[in-house]
Structure 1
Amino acid sequence: MSCRWPDAWQGFAPPIVNFYPWLASAARAHTAPPPFAIGCIEDGNGTCPVEECVVDHVPFCSLRRFARAWPARKDKDGSAAREAVFVCAPLAGHHAVMMRESVESLLQHADVYITDWIDARDISPEAGPLSLEDYVLTLERFVRRAQREAGALHLLAVCQAAPPALAAAALRADAGDEPLASLTLIGGPIDARLNPTALERFAQSHERAWFRAWVIDTVPAPYVGATRPVYPGYLQQAAILTGHPERQFALAMRYWMSAVRASGEPLAQAQRAFDEYAAVLDMPEAYFLDTIEVVFQEALLARGLWRIGERPVRPAALSGIPLCTIEGGRDDITGAGQTHAAHALCANTGAPRSRLTIDDCNHYDLFTGPRWRDIVQPALRDFWRSLDTRCHAHHPERISQSRRSHR
């Protein structure tokens, strides 16, 4: 028997049907991430194809590269001067694809690499645990790989990725490796002792054993990672919804308005944004508990006491690297001043520095939405353009001397 909408509902049938995909997404407790699917970008030169591929991989993470088809510009000596941005995506609940908008806009000016952390439920226990130290070592390896390909590499870390990214950069600088073109930290707890948020106070006031007892679960069969201890996605999804209901509401309203209007492309974009936000992953137990202890409870980076193996993490080794820090005035995840604290740790010997606090900007606004597009990304573009990146990448001492002489 066929089903027919009542005559009075005929004008509303398509919009109602348009709600089904959103309802299906909302009902899934733990979704697989949608693909980045950035096939091309539009810039001043027209339509530019983008090639996406995985250029390096470890059991817990893949390094994705998004390369533009436009030929690299040429230096005066005729050599290629291709720049790239290395995005350290946080391992803090969401999949890296939630930063798709950031990647797409950064591609307007440079190739982009991004760390794509893998859901721990899909990693065999035989791969071992992923500790915070392993995270730092993974970033070291991936940055080394990207620097072999890029003429100048800007390192950009968001949220929880900021402390391990700063550590990895400092370790490489201490070892005398090729310097970064710049380091940018966005909304990250470099010193979580400063103006802690409610979330950070909670992390600081509960012992490691409490978290292990109350928020750690094991991956069930039939997942590849069965028996692996994790901070599970379903708990994170509940915490995200409770802590940021306004974002869930905004994404839902964007979808509903597009559905009511039956507008094809806006509706597809709204569904994609919701799917990207809803796709969470299981975090490995060791990494999660290490982050609570090292970053929020003991503040080892800020106190100069953090060691990766036998190597001390010395941010002062980055004194000659251009540094940019960006905070949101309404960030309820990372407290005020915590990201800017990197400037005091990385003593300045003349390298350009920039710190930006954006009013009426919450944590997610820092890397997605209108404030990212209209304020953060243009500020980053201007900061990078102010640097002679090719010269700095190969002769940092010359750049420092030149800037000091023109003051």
Structure 2
Amino acid sequence: MTLFKTLDDVDPAGKRVLVRVDLNVPMQDGAISDTTRIDRVLPTIRELCDKGAKVILLAHFGRPKGKVDPSQSLEPVAAALAQKLGRPVGFADDCVGPVPEGIVANMTDGDVLLLENTRFHAEEEKNDDGFAARLASLGDLYVNDAFSAAHRAHASTEGITHHLPSYAGRAMQAELEALEKGLGDPSRPVVAIVGGAKVSTKIDLLSNLAGKVNCLVIGGGMANTFLAALGKDVGKSLCEHDLADTALSILKSAESSGCVILLPVDAVVAREFKADAANEVVSVDRVPSDAMILDLGPASIGQVKEWISKARTLVWNGPLGAFELRPFDAATVAAAKHAAARTRGAHLVSVAGGGDTVSALNHAGVVDEFTYVSTAGGAFLEWMEGKPLPGVEALKA
């Protein structure tokens, strides 16, 4: 059951529809280097155009800190969007005031207009109600299709919903439905894989998951902090020794809620942090004092795969080792390929997200084989931490 309204609940014909999208795309030398975020919002824009709406796009770009900065204008994105959409996209060099008002007044059904960077106005990030009302005055309906900005309570993501009937776009809907399958109401057993460098950035995440999943696999640099907290010598490995008490309390809370925490039993160690460095597999009880752990060993990989085989739901954030450097990508690639195979066979719902995670799954060649891969970094993490997301809560109202 959906808690929010979608495009199925509205007839947008002849209406001015304000659509919040994420067009914060990476640029290199004035050209867009990755169009994933544009691709994700095309279905919503197309559907609204085909149904006869006047589509007015709201988006931010970069961090202009509330001032006009021509280097962070959305104008170059309008051309790329038009090319992908296969129809013209107008551009207004402001998002409020006489310029967009004049253009909107002359739009015909099926037209698309991109407004300039909402963050050129300081009131956007302050969620100023007056500014939200000015944005809202340009439309009859509001559609949020930017899950990646949903953890921010800004005027164009939260404030505007107090002024217009509000709906989830298709990308937002897909994300929320996938997340519900991942942790909201998942098929059990649920396995979570959490990797990455530091425990300090993921304390809330680990604490939340320890109370919700059947098995929590901890890999990457953060596993070293747990191993050290348990009294093991991790040599020169990346490790936050000052977080030993935090690690022990997470282990304790997992135990009390019946969650198995899976830590490495063996590791691939090297003396240098570089590709193809001389390396060996050792038990985690026998890490040489001059070496660093850079990946899980074969026995640990076997245990991870065994848990993925038992799981009905997998939630993944962060790589299991230093996957950017071969051969220390072995655990991440093996686990990702195994999860992809289980997903293809309809045995597993697999939901993954976070910047490094997307790169790691791309590296393993399986990003398209997971049930859902979220491109939203901060919003995905906050959802995994169990925090309410203002942009999503606003759609429920």
TM-score norm. by structure 2 comes to 0.25
Larger Rg: 2
Which one has more relative contact order, counting CA pairs under 8 Å at least 6 apart? 1
Give me the TM-score of the superposition, normalised by structure 1.
Answer: 0.25
